[in-house]
């Protein structure tokens, strides 16, 4: 049996959808499973035991009709018995339809009648998924295939023993003491409207270091150095002493090798936080004011995993409005997100994890 799983992007979504692969390999242990993803997400799924092959595409190509048609011809040659479209957008739906797969499963949308042989309504049971509804959405896609769905699967990242050792060596060569607490900071979100204002983040880091005396690594890439420095410069001098601002991993896989050795990851919600959870380290997550916390607060237990949202502290700002409709007002809402509001939850987190 040959299976194709489509997620494509974003990084957090590519990682989250690996639980579909886990379920499929439980249901069909002898199947060959290929995963279609954006090229730079390969680092998240390397060595994953449920994934046999990768089909890597670029974001630019996948948005072209000509590329979708060309790719579908190649997919037809693989003669897939089953295709699951976890991405669920126009381009992946068209690719699903043209793939030639005998059975095609996707979410119920306007195009699902022609794209899929089975369309699933995206309504996870919230009594099962009290946190991390995004996981429930993925698992629903496997329900037409088995009565024995493992509803409690969570994404995992697999590092080799050599990679773990490489991460340790990198940390030590950067002048960091592994005998002392070490924390990764997601200082920047994937966009401005998913990034806590710099001064607010700096105040939170000041409080965090005062509580833990933890060494800090900033998660950023070279072209974000100026923004990372702005947050560093906004911190108190006593906090700056704990920040290794020039130590950044050159690739996603290198970042994972380092993250594995951290006590926790804190900061803006996004792919890096999800990677921390998949490596089984503690997380303290700050959600953007327009993102639905219940979708991505996977495994939140008030101890190892804690998250905060503006709505938790100032519910009157929302007045029953759908969160996504507040996206244009994200920057305005961020100005109402005061650092001091999260200090109680932050202290609870540090007591449990440091």
Q: Are residues 97 and 244 in the same domain?
A: no
pLDDT more than 90, % of the chain: 88
Rounded Cα gap, residues 325 and 64, in angstroms? 28
Rounded Cα gap, residues 1 and 12, in angstroms? 28
Q: What is the pLDDT of residue 9?
A: 83
Q: What is the pLDDT of residue 248?
A: 86
Q: What is the pLDDT of residue 325?
A: 86
Rounded Cα gap, residues 257 and 279, in angstroms? 10
Of 85, 114, 145, the residue that ends a domain is 145
Q: What is the pLDDT of residue 16?
A: 95
pLDDT more than 70, % of the chain: 100
pLDDT of residue 320 exceeding 80, the answer is: no
Render pLDDT for 254-313 as a digit per residue (tens, 0 to 9): 999 999 999 999 999 999 999 999 999 999 999 999 999 988 898 899 999 999 999 999
Q: Are residues 129 and 193 in the same domain?
A: no
Of 96, 115, 145, the residue that ends a domain is 145
Residue 75 domain flag: yes
Residue 81 domain flag: yes
Residue 155 domain flag: no
Q: What is the pLDDT of residue 218?
A: 97
Torsion angle of C-alpha atoms 118, 124, 128, 129, degrees rounded to 10: 130
Question: What is the domain count for the chain?
Answer: 2
Q: Are residues 13 and 115 in the same domain?
A: yes
Q: Retrieve residue 152's tokens.
A: 């409690």
Q: Kindly report the length of the chain.
A: 354
Q: Are residues 135 and 167 in the same domain?
A: no
Residue 156 domain flag: no
Range of the domain at 23: 2-145
The answer to whether 85 and 92 are in contact (CB under 8 A) is yes
Q: Are residues 128 and 167 in the same domain?
A: no
Give me the residue label for tokens 């006593």.
238
Residue 152 domain flag: no
Q: Are residues 79 and 214 in the same domain?
A: no
Q: Are residues 190 and 316 in the same domain?
A: yes
Q: What is the pLDDT of residue 244?
A: 97
Q: What is the pLDDT of residue 138?
A: 97
| H helix intervals, 141-251 | 161-173, 198-212, 225-234, 237-240
- In this structure, of 68-72, 88-92, 246-250, 305-309, the range with the lowest mean pLDDT score is 246-250
Of 145, 172, 197, the residue that ends a domain is 145
pLDDT of residue 130 exceeding 90, the answer is: no
Q: Give SS3 for 191.
A: coil
Q: What is the pLDDT of residue 221?
A: 84
Render pLDDT for 54-63 as a digit per residue (tens, 0 to 9): 999 998 899 8
CATH number of the domain that residue 171 is part of: 3.40.50.2000
Q: Are residues 165 and 140 in the same domain?
A: no
Residue 154 domain flag: no
Q: Are residues 175 and 138 in the same domain?
A: no
Q: What is the pLDDT of residue 210?
A: 98
Residue 153 domain flag: no
Q: How confident is the model at residue 131 (pLDDT cuts 50, 70, 90)?
A: confident
pLDDT of residue 162 exceeding 80, the answer is: yes
Rounded Cα gap, residues 257 and 24, in angstroms? 28
**pLDDT mean over 137-141:** 97
Residues 6+ apart with CB under 8 A from 217: 176, 182, 183, 184, 185, 244, 247, 248, 258, 262
Rounded Cα gap, residues 151 and 135, in angstroms? 8
Round the average pLDDT of the chain to a whole number and report it.
95
Render pLDDT for 74-90 as a digit per residue (tens, 0 to 9): 999 999 999 999 999 99
Beta strands (DSSP E) in 116-275 are 118-120, 182-186, 215-218, 264-268
Q: What is the pLDDT of residue 321?
A: 74
Q: What is the pLDDT of residue 295?
A: 87
**pLDDT mean over 5-15:** 92
Q: What is the pLDDT of residue 89?
A: 95
Residue 218 domain flag: yes
Q: Are residues 127 and 252 in the same domain?
A: no
Candidates 281, 267, 254; CA nearest to 168 is 254
Q: Are residues 68 and 199 in the same domain?
A: no
Q: Are residues 238 and 138 in the same domain?
A: no
At 278, which helix (H) or strand (E)?
A: helix 271-278
Candidates 282, 269, 286, 283; CA nearest to 339 is 286
């Amino acid at each position: 049996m040959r299976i194709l799983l489509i997620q494509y992007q974003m990084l957090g979504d590519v990682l989250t959808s690996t639980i579909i692969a886990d379920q499929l390999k439980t249901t069909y242990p002898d199947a060959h499973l290929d995963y279609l993803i954006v090229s730079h997400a390969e680092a998240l799924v390397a060595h994953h035991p449920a994934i046999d092959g990768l089909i890597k595409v670029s974001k630019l190509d996948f948005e072209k009709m000509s590329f979708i048609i060309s790719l579908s011809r190649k997919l037809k040659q693989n003669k897939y018995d089953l295709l699951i479209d976890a991405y669920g957008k126009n381009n992946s739906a068209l690719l699903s339809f043209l793939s030639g797969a005998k059975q095609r499963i996707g979410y119920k949308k306007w195009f699902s009648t022609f794209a899929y042989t089975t369309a699933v309504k995206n309504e996870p049971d919230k009594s099962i998924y009290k946190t991390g509804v995004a996981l429930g959405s993925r698992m629903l896609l496997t329900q037409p295939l088995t009565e024995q769905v493992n509803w409690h699967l969570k994404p995992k990242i697999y590092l080799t023993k050599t990679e773990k050792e490489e991460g340790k060596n990198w940390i030590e060569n950067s002048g960091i003491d592994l005998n002392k607490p070490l924390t990764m900071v997601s200082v920047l979100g994937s966009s401005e409207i998913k990034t806590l204002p710099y001064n607010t983040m700096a105040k939170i880091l000041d409080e965090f270091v005062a509580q833990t005396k933890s060494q800090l690594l900033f998660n950023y890439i070279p072209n974000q150095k100026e923004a990372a420095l702005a947050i560093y410069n906004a911190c108190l001098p006593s906090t700056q002493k704990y920040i290794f601002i020039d130590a950044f991993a050159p690739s996603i896989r290198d970042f994972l090798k380092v993250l594995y050795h951290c006590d926790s990851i804190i900061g803006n919600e996004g792919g890096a936080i999800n990677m921390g959870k998949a490596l089984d380290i503690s997380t303290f997550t700050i959600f953007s004011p327009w993102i639905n916390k219940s979708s991505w607060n996977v495994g939140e237990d008030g101890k190892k995993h804690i998250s905060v949202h503006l709505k938790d502290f100032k519910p009157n700002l929302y007045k029953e409005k759908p969160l996504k409709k507040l996206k244009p007002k994200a920057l305005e809402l961020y100005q109402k997100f005061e650092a001091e509001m999260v200090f109680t939850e932050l202290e609870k987190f540090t007591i449990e994890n440091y």
